[in-house]
Amino acid sequence: MVTEQLRTAIECGTYEIKGQFTFGSNYTFLVAIQHEGSEYPAVYKPLRGEQPLWDFPENTLAGREVAAYLVSEYLGFHFVPFTTLRQDGPFGAGSLQQYIEYDPEYHYFSFSEEDRQLLKPVVLFDVLCNNADRKGSHVFFEDGTHKLYAIDHGICFHEEDKLRTVLWDFSGQKIPQELLTPLAGIKSLFPSLEPYLTRRELAALAARAESILKKGTFPRQPRDRRALPWPPL
């Protein structure tokens, strides 16, 4: 969980680049945030570093990272690290996200069966947000606390069906009611999402929530289109 001190640092502190993550298609940097005498690590994704996609508007991926955080918080899942949009980054505007320490060797494909059972909220979140890139390395547990986190949500919220995920464990199973209940009021979050998503994307988000509530089960993997991200890890 993010502390108020860390939240303020991410929102207001000064930061400088310490390194670059080289395993993604978009430019992503490890930064050090300085605030009130303390230093905090964070992940910075500048708009200028986003690779153009044919099916997503340019310079919108960082905003979608923020939208994903807001949805996770609204649903009560709290597994997306605190994320905000800053205009004053070393390479200009971009998302700035709380950095979580974890073991990169312990990911979806190496999770214990017990830990895999904790992924139902992530699966529901991905269906709702239409996540087009849920790789196995995008879910992990924090060192020390073993708290579940999910990251990399830049290509979510498309108005067309884009769900691509490795998390098909619960296909056809009934969604627990405690996960479904918040979906009924999802439109109350829309004023907070409007800076990051289009009206059509918000309408599609509402339609997906309604469909999930009506069906009440996790979707099955489709056979008529590609439903797995590449690479899967």
- The type of residue at 171 is S
Sign of CA dihedral 149, 213, 181, 204: positive
Rounded average pLDDT per 10-residue block, the chain, 233 residues: 92 96 89 96 96 91 98 98 96 97 97 98 98 97 98 97 96 97 98 97 98 98 92 92
CATH architecture classification, 4-215: Orthogonal Bundle (1.10)
For residue 217, give the nearest of 83, 144, 123, 149 by alpha carbon: 123
3-state secondary structure of 37: coil
Domain coordinates in residue numbering, the chain: 4-215
pLDDT at position 3 is 92
Cα distance between residue 165 and residue 135, in whole Å = 6
Name the pTM for this structure.
0.96
Give tens-digit pLDDT for 50-70: 988 999 999 999 999 999 999
Q: Are 32 and 44 in contact (CB under 8 A)?
A: no
Strand residue runs (E) in 67-172: 83-86, 94-98, 139-141, 148-150
